[in-house]
Amino acid sequence: MTHIVIIGAGECGARTAFALREKGFGGEITLIGAEPLLPYERPPLSKDGLAEASLPKFIAGAERYEDARITVLTGVTAKSIDRAFKAVTLSDGRSLDYDRLLLATGSRPRAFPGVPENAGRIRMLRTHADALAIRAALTPGTRLAVIGGGFIGLELAATARKLGAEVALLEGLPRVLSRGVPAEIAAFVAERHRREGVEIICGAQIAAIVEASDGARLLLADGIGIEADLIVVGIGAVPNTELAEVAGLAIENGIAVDARLCTSDPDIYAAGDCCSFPLPHHGGRRVRLEAWRNAQDQGALAAVNLMGAGETMASVPWFWSDQYEYTLQIAGLADGAQATVRRDMGEGAIILFHLDGEGRLIAASGIGPGNAVARDIRLAEMLIAAGAKPDPLALASPEIRLKKLLAA
């Protein structure tokens, strides 16, 4: 094997490239990125990176790619894949032959129906350029309307309040963080935002968005109008599967891969936000995860399997979000839980343990100031991976250390 091509220069693609060298791959590596910048971390874009309007947090500097003999092509996209001749055609007219190919094409923000993407006073947040445009508009007194009460929308709301903006957040469902976050923790987060002055409107049905030269207006189905200087849409993400679809690869809520991250073509793999895969700790159900940790884990797995290792997914899903002084962390997937056990950690920190019908721990959700829940969520992650069935009374007691349950 002489040439591995990676399409997508985000977290997953960059981590794969470096992992290939760390695992001893001596052939050629080409990393293709649509943005003009070197690969960077996306989580800070809705947090400190937005507040500070600084350069992005690069995964590595140019010299490190050079030292690792990784060719990075920026500002260029892959236009097509010729599976028969194992070649990728680029937007600048070049063609790259490959021996193995990784699709790490990520995802893009879901557009609001009928509203142009990133036009004038209506924005979405995905890239560093998006963050700079939003930050330029967030001055003290700016009226910001955020559509979407998921992680991105809430993080953006918190950052905007720190910058002195007035914030209204609209969520179409009955509560914020309805995807993967227990109602008790979601209520905690919503109350913290309200104390900070964020107006949260759940069950909001938007009838129209009207943009003018001096602002924009949201009209709700119940007749309520919301005036804003800037509207940011954060209603989820869509996997970038178009390249794979045209190439004839199997698609199922993303590019469908097996437990080794291999697509329906044995020489093409996919990883990160763009792919769906069977989750071993949840009965092999097929999921697609938009998460920083997943991008890192799958980047490492993709690297060894591109080299022929044949290893399978073993990691537990893990998510985190910063909300003012609180950090929310979740290990595993709580949907399908038959019982929930609460552990009060003190100082405003709690962890909810989610058990299936057989008493097996399948997820843990925690929130607290700073890193108050980090260690125990990590131990819970290990219990989930081990298929443990811990005593619910022990889970509820803060006096009983999770490390002891893991040892048992």
Residue limits of CATH 3.30.390.30 in the chain? 325-407
Whole-number Å distance between alpha carbons of 142 and 158:
14
Among the listed ranges 8-22, 77-91, 108-122, 252-266, which one has the minimum average pLDDT value?
A: 108-122
The model's confidence at residue 55, banded by pLDDT at 50, 70 and 90, is confident
- Please compute the mean of the pLDDT values over residues 390-400 and round it to a whole number: 95
pLDDT tens digits, one per residue of 203-251: 999 999 888 778 899 999 999 999 999 999 999 999 999 999 999 999 9
What pLDDT, on the 0 to 100 scale, is given for residue 54?
Answer: 75
Topology of domain 111-233, CATH:
FAD/NAD(P)-binding domain (3.50.50)
Q: Residue 118 has what pLDDT?
A: 65
Query: Which residues of the chain does CATH 3.50.50.60 include?
Result: 3-108+238-306, 111-233
pLDDT digits (tens, 9 = 90+) for 311-338: 999 999 999 999 999 999 999 999 889 9
Domain topology for 3-108+238-306: FAD/NAD(P)-binding domain (3.50.50)
The domain defined by 325-407 folds into Enolase-like; domain 1 (3.30.390)
Q: How many CB atoms lie within 10 A of CB 236?
A: 14
pLDDT tier for residue 355 given thresholds of 50, 70 and 90: very high
Q: What is the pLDDT of residue 112?
A: 86
What does pLDDT average to over the chain? 94
104, 13 Cβ separation under 8 angstroms: yes
Over the stretch 99-114, which tens digit does the pLDDT of each residue have? 999 999 999 999 888 7
Kindly tell me if the per-residue pLDDT of 352 is higher than 70. yes
Helices 183-195 and 151-162: crossing angle in degrees, nearest 10, is 20
Q: How many residues are there in the chain?
A: 408
- DSSP-based three-state secondary structure for 91: coil
Query: What number is the average pLDDT over the span 393-397?
Result: 96
Measured between alpha carbons, how far is 227 from 210 in angstroms, rounded to an integer? 10
From CA 300, how far away is CA 308, in angstroms rounded? 13
**What is the model's pLDDT at position 328?**
97
The encoded tokens of residue 364 equal 């843990």
